[in-house]
Structures are given as structure tokens and as C-alpha cells.
A and B are shown apart, each in its own frame.
Chain A
């Protein structure tokens, strides 16, 4: 026994040494690129270096960790120390949406965006208290494994497989989309090619080495993503607060933002610009029906106006602004559509800026109440979804013991916390910069980052001189959330190499999550469906080979779906959480905490939870309503005014109650199941049964 202890310790020390060297090497790589930049290396080449060096690195780890052993392939040999499993879970967890989207969401929606910050961290409390240690003691390979063993029979397992694939697939599409965006933006490759370069990076890892390769790559990816996220924020923090830990010091910046909000709300020039923004958005909406004609109409109107201002001897900057507006109006069909779409976004500027720290804004008490309910609804769904997403839960199968599984949840949340408690700070710092430096600057001399990014993509940043006064008003800026993280290095005045680093971080976040999700889907099919249900006698080598083959197929299908660019990533992600929460959480938790829960309870409970959740989304989410041809007003279907993304607030309780009632109406589970429950409840039990899979 002591030999095992010293083995574990030696392994830990070895890992620590490897990853310390790795981190040092990565920093040296970044410094080398920084020097190369000073010596004149082009931005595109910096982008290529980051892209290919990091993907090459992940591939190398993947190749070194290749395996055909079942326990190695499915659960990394069950010897991942708590600390490293925490890092791997962090990378597994934090997706492109967290890395790139989170701070932007907070920038745009202020307090209300914090629902995601709370939900995506607080869910780990549920993981720690209700699931991780028990799943580890159970010690098989997948979540349907547990459901199948606890409730018996293939029906429960099949529902588990269905739910695992449904939520993981929804989620993985969003990740591959993120990979495509990042690669194409930072290297100039086309979106489609970007998707497949990224996909190669994902596959080389999970395909060759399964969980084992994914684990060690995710640790490496976590290190890159956290360095990439914190570096520019710390820099920006020093600029605005004078302290290198802005997470604690941005309160005063928040106050200054509040003062600026008041000033901007009252400023007569802003009031004028808000009116013009509303008109411009209305014009853009109708212009989108025939973008080219509308554009040439606008050009004609602007030319007239320019001639008039010349005749009136208007001030120089006014003439310049009109000229600028004229040259910004494209007549090329593609460009014109982009132009009007960007202008339509100005509609958001018709009302004064929202108070950043103000919770649940609304026109009247009732609206505010509904906003509050929806805020808590999102928190609830994100939390219970976290505690039910199979790709996260299966990470806790990989630790050496129950004890380490408990500590591992702590490390997981700690590493996730580092990013999530920084995001709200970044949003405020960036907002302060925009309100104080960008607003009020002259169009002729915009801050460098704004001048650069408005050329990159009008969806990310559009600044239009609506009132032709040559000065930027807040109502003239249309901003896309993603720019906040992407442009932070430039806002903070850092060299381009840090922008490349941020891109590499975003890529690491997207790749690591996609790895974990694809593996979950492939295992649900290869292990649960093929091995457990179709061919129970299959030899190990064939089982692993089947899983690998399925992984490839699923990856290609996911990439194919992604290439259609399905819209609204945030809804896709939110839907995945609500579905996972409704389908899995009640059956998993009652399976451990209530011995009386039985097969029929679980079957009806999972179906009821999932069913209610899917029903509610279909009748309240516009895209699905169109799909099913539902025309009655949304409000007539809404329960308590909840949005479709929080459908889980109905699915989870209905699932719990259904399991409870149906279990009591049907016979109690047999003795074997009772023993299984005792088995997972105690880390060690005299005369214990063995459930570990090999």
C-alpha cells in the first residue's frame, strides 16, 4: 500500500516538473516572439506562429499519450492527481463563450450578465456535494454507466445516451464555431479552412489517446488560456487603478463609470445622437430589403448635403465628416448588406446607457420583477446544468480516489474562479476606457485600437458620425461583445504579440472544451451503446477502436453542421444546460441519496424532465416556433414570464417530483441495488462489492 502512495507522489512530482518546464518554455516562446515583433516580424506571421506552435504542441502531447487500453482510454488510468484534474476540468469547462464572450456579455448587459458568472461557478457546489465523490467510488467510464447500473436495464441507459448526446452535440457545435472564428480572424484563413485546421488539432488528441491524451492536453491548454486572459487585464488594471490586482480595486472605476453614465445620459449632444441612432436603425431595417439601392439613395442624399454645407460655408470638420460618411457608404452588394446590418445595430443606442451596476432594470415594477425572476432562472439552470453535463462529471472518474475527487472539485472551481472573477472587472475597465477615452474624441484622431478594429469587422465595432459634429458620442458607437477581450491588449497599449497570445488562449479554450465533448459523445455511442448494449463480449481492442471510429464520424458531422453557421451561440449553450439539468440531475442525485428511487421512477422522471424542457423551448423560442409552425403569441405560452433559455426551472422540479411519485407507486428496487447505493456512499466498506470497470 505504501508503494502505491509513493507511486502517486512520485507521479505528482514528475507532472509538476513537466508542467513547470512547459510553462517556462511557453513564456520564453512568447518573449521570443515579442523580440521578433520589435525586429519587424509581421502580424500575420505572429498569428501563424501562435496557431501552429500551440496546435503542434497539443498534437505532440496527444501522440505521446496514445493508448489502446480501455481504462487509459476512458478514464486516463484513474491516476490524475486532484490538482491537475482541477486544471483539466477548468479547460474542459471554459469554452470559447467563457473566454471571449463572457466579458463582452457583461459589458453589454451589466449586472444581468452576472447570472452566467454565478451560475457557471456555483454549479460546482452541487458537483462537489452531490456527485463527484459518489461517481468516483462507482468508478466506471460514463454517466449512462451509472444510470444503467443504479436503475437497471437498457431503457434508462438509452435515455441517458440520448440526453448525453443531445446536450453535448448542441454544445460542441458552438465550440467548433469559435475555433473557426478565431483561426480565421488571426491568420486570415477562410472560416471553413479555419474550422478544419482546428478540427485536426482536436482530433489528433482525443482520437489517439482518448481521455488520457485529452487530460494532459487540457492541463497544457489551461496554462495557456489563463496566462492569456490575465496578462492584458492586469496591465489594463495598472493603467486605471494603479494596482496589479484590479479584481479588488475596480470598485472606484465602477463609480467613475456610474458618473460618466449620468453625464452621458444628460448631455444634449448625446440626446440628439440617440434620436439620430433610432432613425438610422429604422432606415437600415427597411434598407436591408434592397441594400444596394438604399446605399445609392443615401449617397445621393449625402452628396446633396455636402454641396449644401460647402455653399453655407459650414465648418471644416463638418464637411470632412460628411465626406467620410460618403466614402463609408458602399455600393457593392455584399458590403452594402454588411453596412446596413451594422447600422441596424445602432438601434440599441436609442435609449440612454444602462447603469452598469443596476440589477433588473425595467420600465415599471412588473417588468423589473420579471427581469429578476429571469435572472435567478438563468442562475438556476446554469448551476444545475453544470452539475449534470456529462463531459464535466466524467472528469471525476479519473482521480486516484474518492478523497482526491473531493479535493479535485475544489481545485476545479478555484482555477475556473480565476477567470470568472476577472471577467466582471475587465468589463468595467473596458467600459471606463470607452466612456472616458473613446467618447468625446475627434473622429480624425480616434484611439489607435478603435481606429484599427473598426476596419476589421463592422459587427465588432462601428462608429458613425450621426450628427456630423466630428466628435464621437456614445450613441454613435455600436459594439459587438466579442471585441472586449480581443481588443483589450490594444486598449491597454500592449504590443501585438499579446493579441496573438489572447487568440491562442481563446483557441485553447475552444479546443479543450470541444475535445471533452466529442469524447463524451463518442463514448456514449462506443461504450454505452455498442459495448454495453450491442456487443457485450467485444474484446478491449475492438471496443476502443469502435469508440475512435465513432469519434471521427461525430467530429465530421459536428464540423459539417457548424459550417452552416447556426446563429445565436448563447442560446445554444444555454439550451444545452437546461436540457442536461432536466434530464440528468434528478435521476443522478436521487440515485445516490434515495435508496427507494427505482427504475420506473427514473425512466418517467427523465422523460418528463426532458419533455417539459423541450416543450417549453419549442413554444417560446422563436426559431423553434417557426420550425413547428406555432403562431399564437409567445406570452400565451409563457409560464411566469420565463425565457426559453431557463426552461430547466420547470424541467428539474418536475423530474424530481415524477421520480418520487412513480418510485413510490412501483415496487422498491432489489437488494443488489441497495448494496450498490451503500457502495457509492462509503469510500471504503468491509465486504464491499467491486464496480470498477476495466
Chain B
């Protein structure tokens, strides 16, 4: 089994998207969590922002991150010819 340049490129792109999404995840989790008290100074729809992020905002970001990853990778599989056939 020999990996081609194309395979390496596929894996590289996978690492790039993984890194980008991990940075978003880190900010939504730990940076927002660390500054929760400061964020609470802002109010949106009655919610103090720090509370809102921990209760709902970050959760929504997580769902979106996973959605983007699944979509991006499934397209990447096709573009690099490593997609599976036995699937809709």
C-alpha cells in the first residue's frame, strides 16, 4: 500500500480543518468560560451573555462545528477519491 501525493494532501487538509475547528471549540469553551463574569456585563434578550453562552450559546456552536466537519470531510472524500461506494 503506497500513499500518493494526493493522499498526503487529503490528510493535510483533514489536519487543517481539525485544527481550525478545535480553535473555535477552545474559544467557545475555555476562553468564554474564563471570561464569563466579564461577559455577564452584556445583556441580550434578557440573558447575561456569559450565562447564555454556557447554557446555550456554546452548545449551539458545538452542534455547528460537528455539522461543518461532517460536511467538509464527506466532500473532501469525494474530491480526493477516497469516498466509500456502499452508501447513499
Contacts and interface: CB of A to CB of B under 8 A. Distances in A.
A318 B43 CA distance: 44
Given A129-B22, A406-B74, A417 B83 contact: no
Given A129-B21, A410-B67, A421-B55, A400 B86 contact: yes
B29 A401 contact: no
A474 to B, nearest CB: 21
A567 interface: no
Interface in A270-309: none
A403 B74 contact: yes
B54 A406 contact: no
Among B25, B33, B62, B87, the most chain A Cβ lie within 10 Å of the Cβ of: B87
Contacts of B22: 125, 129
Contact of A360 (B37, B55, B70, B82): B37
Contacts of A114: 51, 54-55
A410 B66 CA distance: 6
B1 A407 contact: no
Q: Chain A interface secondary structure, helix, strand, loop or mixed? A: helix
Contact of B48 (A9, A128, A357): A357
B29 A383 contact: yes
Contacts of B33: 118, 372, 375-376, 379
Interface in A397-438: 400-404, 406-407, 409-410, 413-414, 417, 420-421, 424-425
Contact of A424 (B21, B37, B56, B83): B56
Given A111-B54, A359-B51, A678 B1 contact: yes
B77 to A, nearest CB: 5
Interface in B4-55: 7, 10-11, 14, 18, 21-22, 25, 28-30, 33-34, 36-37, 40, 43-48, 50-52, 54-55
Interface stretch (A64-72, A175-183, A248-256): A248-256
Nearest to A356: B51
A5 B87 contact: yes
**Which size class do B's interface residues fall under?**
35 or more
Given A681-B11, A688-B1, A359 B50 contact: yes
B45 A8 contact: no
Contacts of A152: none
Contacts of A39: none
A9 B11 contact: no
Given A252-B46, A359-B40, A675 B1 contact: yes
B68 to A, nearest CB: 9
A117 interface: yes
Contacts of B28: 122
Interface string B62-88: 110111011001100100001111111
B66 A8 contact: no
Nearest to A123: B62
Contact of B36 (A111, A124, A133): A111
A24 interface: no
B66 A682 contact: no
Contacts of A413: 62-63, 66
Nearest to B39: A359
Interface residues of A, number: 65
A251 B2 CA distance: 57
A568 B44 CA distance: 37
Among B1, B22, B43, the most chain A Cβ lie within 10 Å of the Cβ of: B1
Interface in A647-689: 675, 678-679, 681-689
A401 B86 CA distance: 8
Contacts of A89: none
Contacts of B88: 5, 8-9, 12
Among B54, B65, B84, the most chain A Cβ lie within 10 Å of the Cβ of: B54
B84 A402 contact: yes
Contact of A409 (B36, B56, B66): B66
A125 B62 CA distance: 6
A125 B21 contact: yes
A401 B84 CA distance: 7
A357 B51 contact: yes
A547 interface: no
A248 B67 CA distance: 22
B60 to A, nearest CB: 8
Contacts of A249: 45
A122 B62 contact: yes
A114 B50 CA distance: 11
Given A129-B22, A683-B77, A4 B86 contact: yes
Contacts of A425: 55
Interface in A307-346: none
A685 B81 CA distance: 9
Interface of B: 1-3, 7, 10-11, 14, 18, 21-22, 25, 28-30, 33-34, 36-37, 40, 43-48, 50-52, 54-56, 58-60, 62-63, 65-67, 69-70, 73-74, 77, 82-88
Interface of A: 1, 4-5, 8-9, 12, 111, 114, 117-118, 121-122, 124-125, 128-130, 133, 247-255, 357-360, 372, 375-376, 379-380, 383, 400-404, 406-407, 409-410, 413-414, 417, 420-421, 424-425, 675, 678-679, 681-689
Given A403-B74, A413-B66, 9 more contacts: A111-B50, A114-B54, A118-B29, A118-B33, A121-B59, A372-B34, A379-B29, A401-B87, A685-B1
Closest 7 CB pairs of A and B: A251-B46, A424-B55, A251-B47, A406-B70, A359-B36, A357-B51, A114-B54
22 contacts: A4-B85, A8-B86, A9-B88, A118-B33, A118-B59, A122-B25, A122-B59, A133-B73, A251-B52, A357-B50, A376-B34, A400-B87, A403-B77, A403-B83, A410-B63, A413-B66, A424-B55, A681-B14, A683-B84, A684-B77, A684-B84, A684-B85
